[in-house]
Amino acid sequence: MTSVSLPPSLIQTLPGSVYTDPGVFVREQERIFEAMWFAVARSSELSSPGQFVTKQVGRENVIIVRGRDGALRAFLNVCRHRGARLCQEESGQVRRNIQCMYHAWTYGLDGALVAAPNLTKMQDIDRSEYGLVNVHLREWLGYAWVCLADDPPSFEDEVIGAADERLGGADVIGGWQVEELVVGRRITYDVKANWKLIIENFMECYHCATIHPELTEMLPEFAQGNAAQMFVGHGAVFAEDAKGFTVDGSEGQQNIPGVDADHDRRYYAITVKPTVFINLVPDHVIFHRMFPMSADRTVVECDWLYLPSVVESQADLSRSVELFDLVNRQDFAACEATQPGMSSRAYAGGGVLVPSEHHINEFHAWVQARLA
Amino acid sequence: MIKVCAVADLPEGEAFRLELEVPIAVFNVAGEFFAIDDTCTHQDASLADGFVEDDCTVECPLHASCFDLRTGKPNGPPAKEPVRTHSVVVEDGTIFVVRD
């Protein structure tokens, strides 16, 4: 960044090209999305053997599939023979194996090469050498997290550690029993903006009073512009007259029993770099997973998670879901309004961060260090 | 008689491939043993790599034709021709195939 003389209130942002340059995006795919732990799917979506989803992770397409032994596994979605994409759909169910549509090379749900035409006549082929390329997978909070690196970073440090750090203690997040919760609603947003704009938006609340009237009504301190993410262990307190975290302040759902009195009637927010945001309120958890598709397009899958009894009783979740769905739409509209400006000469040198946004500077330094 | 393997080495639902000039596959279906020619009559695939079904058939791993292990007949396309069946003898805990 060029060092212009800025008043102490302001800090320089990244230059606009970092949000538009396809070359930068490829480096981010390689050094961030393919190098770090990336949350891909809710484990419960893949409940029976042979159920799969395919997801874009960095430059790769990845299959996540439930094995006959009940374990989840992840593989690159590429046939080892001639490279055809194996699973063409975004989700589905195979009966017993994953078979290539081109020459019928056939892989077990554990990735092993099971069969191929004339394979028995090619006795020099070691089937274990020609199985699917394995991708590291961990499950946490009821999600499958994959890492495409040969030697993944510590999941405990980078993923669990991020939540512990924000909430100010080891396994504070355990109170929300996230792995036991059930998806009450999922909404997928196709956002025409760079993934970093979405992260930056999530990290600050300077915009809250302007674009989030309903959220600010619910969390009055947000009008001051200080995001929950600026602090450790701080949850924004609900408005006194709000009965629950809903679009109109009406009653929410049954509280998650593990949430203690200190964490009741508060809103917590966590970023697990590079692509996960988690919001915690007493009766539900909002779990965002971003899938950066190109320099100017990001798909965001957002789950609203509730106690199983709440979802089973077919409770009306609409007011509960509507609050953050509205927040998401407001935020993504702002990100989409920002994206075109990134390629303007007005923003060639970047913009500025005000004090309540200064912590975004750490994110910028982190991105630059990863790409250096 | 061709020796296959010990009974203990062929668990239920599994298959053993005999590497002969014309390979033979031996299956254990609920404790009963069956032997058929190993190669699918549709395209060259090993039926020993297939899936044993409860109805005493094996499904070819490539194109899902099911062969009846008792008669060798396929239950449907793409395979049209049956595979040969062979007799199985168990003596002193060892499985043998008698080529028919």
Q: Which residues of B touch A117 (CB under 8 A)?
A: 43-45, 62
Q: State the Cα–Cα distance between residues A149 and A159, nearest whole angstrom.
A: 15
The verdict on A43 touching B (C-beta cutoff 8 Å) is no
The verdict on A112 touching B (C-beta cutoff 8 Å) is no
Apex A196 CA angle, A194 and A199, nearest 5? 125
Query: Is the predicted pLDDT of residue A126 greater than 70, yes or no?
Result: yes
pLDDT of res. A4: 61
The verdict on B43 touching A (C-beta cutoff 8 Å) is yes
Give per-residue pLDDT as tens, A140-174. 999 999 999 999 999 999 999 999 999 999 999 99
Query: Is the predicted pLDDT of residue A267 greater than 70, yes or no?
Result: yes
Mean pLDDT over A248-269 rounds to 94
Give per-residue pLDDT as tens, A292-324. 999 999 999 999 999 999 999 999 999 999 999
pLDDT of res. B99: 82
Give per-residue pLDDT as tens, B38-66. 999 999 999 999 999 888 999 999 998 99
| B45/A115 CB distance under 8 A | yes
The verdict on A100 touching B (C-beta cutoff 8 Å) is no
Site from B19, B52, B62 to mutate, A interface, most A CB atoms within 10 angstroms: B62
Q: Which helix (H) or strand (E) holds B5?
A: strand B2-6
The shortest C-alpha distance from A116 to chain B (Å) reads 7
Site from B24, B49, B51, B58 to mutate, A interface, most A CB atoms within 10 angstroms: B49
Query: Is the predicted pLDDT of residue A227 greater than 80, yes or no?
Result: no
Give per-residue pLDDT as tens, A181-201. 999 999 999 999 999 999 999
DSSP A248: T
| A120/B46 CB distance under 8 A | yes
Return contacts of A7-13, CB within 8 angstroms, 24+ apart.
Answer: A9/A354, A9/A355, A10/A352, A10/A353, A10/A354, A11/A352, A11/A353, A11/A357, A11/A358, A11/A361, A12/A349, A12/A350, A12/A352, A12/A353, A13/A350, A13/A351, A13/A352, A13/A353, A13/A360, A13/A364
The verdict on A94 touching B (C-beta cutoff 8 Å) is no
Query: Is the predicted pLDDT of residue B100 greater than 90, yes or no?
Result: no
The verdict on B22 touching A (C-beta cutoff 8 Å) is no
Question: Which residue bears the tokens 């009966």?
Answer: A95
pLDDT of res. A231: 76
Mean pLDDT over A238-264 rounds to 95
Which of B39, B44, B62 is nearest residue A106 as measured by Cβ atoms? B62
pLDDT of res. A228: 64
pLDDT of res. A355: 92
Mean pLDDT score across all residues of chain A: 94
Q: State the Cα–Cα distance between residues A351 and A360, nearest whole angstrom.
A: 12
Query: Is the predicted pLDDT of residue B77 greater than 80, yes or no?
Result: yes
Q: Which chain A residue lies closest to B47 (C-alpha atoms)?
A: A115
| A118/B39 CB distance under 8 A | no
Q: In this complex, how many residue pairs, one in chain A and one in chain B, have their CB atoms less than 8 Å apart?
A: 34
Question: How sure is the predictor about A232, in pLDDT bands with cuts at 50, 70 and 90?
Answer: confident
Name the token pair of A18.
Answer: 């970092």
pLDDT of res. A241: 95
| B44/A104 CB distance under 8 A | no
Q: Which chain B residue lies closest to A112 (C-alpha atoms)?
A: B49
pLDDT of res. A297: 98
Query: Is the predicted pLDDT of residue A229 greater than 70, yes or no?
Result: no
Query: Is the predicted pLDDT of residue A3 greater than 60, yes or no?
Result: no
Q: Which chain B residue lies closest to A103 (C-alpha atoms)?
A: B62
Mean pLDDT over A126-142 rounds to 95
Q: Which chain A residue lies closest to B18 (C-alpha atoms)?
A: A120
Q: State the Cα–Cα distance between residues A367 and A240, nearest whole angstrom.
A: 39
Give per-residue pLDDT as tens, A53-93. 999 999 999 999 999 999 999 999 999 999 999 999 999 99
Q: Which chain B residue lies closest to A105 (C-alpha atoms)?
A: B62
* pTM reported for the whole predicted model: 0.90
The verdict on B84 touching A (C-beta cutoff 8 Å) is no
Name the token pair of B74.
Answer: 């396929």
Helix axis angle for A360-371 and A195-203, nearest 10°, is 150
Residues 6+ apart with CB under 8 A from A256: A175, A176, A177, A181, A282, A283, A284, A285, A307
